[in-house]
C-alpha cells in the first residue's frame, strides 16, 4: 500500500524568508500524481501545487515550487518570500493513476514569524 510521510510536524520561518517542507512517499507504481494542500486555521483546504510523476520538470506556482525526486520518492515544497498568510497546515498527498482516492500525509504546521 502507498504511504506518505511528512517528518516535520511543525516548522517556523521568518517572514520574507524561504522554507522547505519535506515529504517522502512509498509506492511501487510508476504513474501517479503528487499534491501539496494548504489548510489555514478553521478554513477550507486548498490545492497549492500538483506534480505528475511522468514529468521531470518541477512544478512551480508563483512563490511555491517543488523538488520532485522520483528515484528517491521525495516531493518537497519550497515557499519563497514567506508571508503571514502562508501560516497553515500543509499536507503532502499521493494519488495513483489507477485509483480515485488521495492519500494524505500527517501534515506539517507552518508558523510565519513577523
Partner 1 sequence: DAMVIQNPRYQVTQFGKPVTLSCSQTLNHNVMYWYQQKSSQAPKLLFHYYDKDFNNEADTPDNFQSRRPNTSFCFLDIRSPGLGDAAMYLCATSRDRVAGYTFGSGTRLTVV
Q: Which residues bind partner 1 (CB under 8 A)?
A: 33, 35, 37, 43-47, 50, 89, 91, 93, 95-102, 104-107, 109
Q: Are 5 and 87 in contact (CB under 8 A)?
A: no
The nearest distance, CB 112 to partner 1, in angstroms, is 18
Q: Which neighbouring-strand residues pair with 14?
A: 113
| In the complex, minimum distance from the CB of residue 53 to partner 1, in angstroms, rounded to a whole number | 12
Residue whose grid cell is 516548522: 11
Which residue's CB is nearer to partner 1, number 21 or number 93? 93
Q: Which is nearer to partner 1, 11 or 102 (CB)?
A: 102
Q: What distance lies between CA 51 and its chain's CA centroid?
A: 10
Nearer to partner 1 by C-beta: 14 or 100?
Answer: 100
Specify whether the CB–CB gap between 42 and 61 falls below 8 A.
no
With respect to partner 1, which residue has the nearer C-beta, 9 or 85? Answer: 9
Please identify which residue in the block is written with the cell numbers 512517499: 25
Amino acid at each position: 500500500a502507498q504511504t506518505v510521510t511528512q517528518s516535520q510536524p511543525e516548522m517556523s520561518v521568518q517572514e520574507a524568508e524561504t522554507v522547505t517542507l519535506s515529504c517522502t512517499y512509498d509506492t511501487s507504481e510508476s504513474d501517479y500524481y503528487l499534491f501539496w494542500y494548504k489548510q489555514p486555521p478553521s478554513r477550507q483546504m486548498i490545492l497549492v501545487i500538483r506534480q505528475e510523476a511522468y514529468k521531470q520538470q518541477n512544478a512551480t506556482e508563483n512563490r511555491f515550487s517543488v523538488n520532485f525526486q522520483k528515484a528517491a520518492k521525495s516531493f518537497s515544497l519550497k515557499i519563497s518570500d514567506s508571508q503571514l498568510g502562508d501560516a497553515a497546515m500543509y499536507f503532502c498527498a499521493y494519488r495513483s493513476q489507477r485509483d480515485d482516492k488521495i492519500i494524505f500525509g500527517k501534515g506539517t504546521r507552518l508558523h510565519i514569524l513577523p
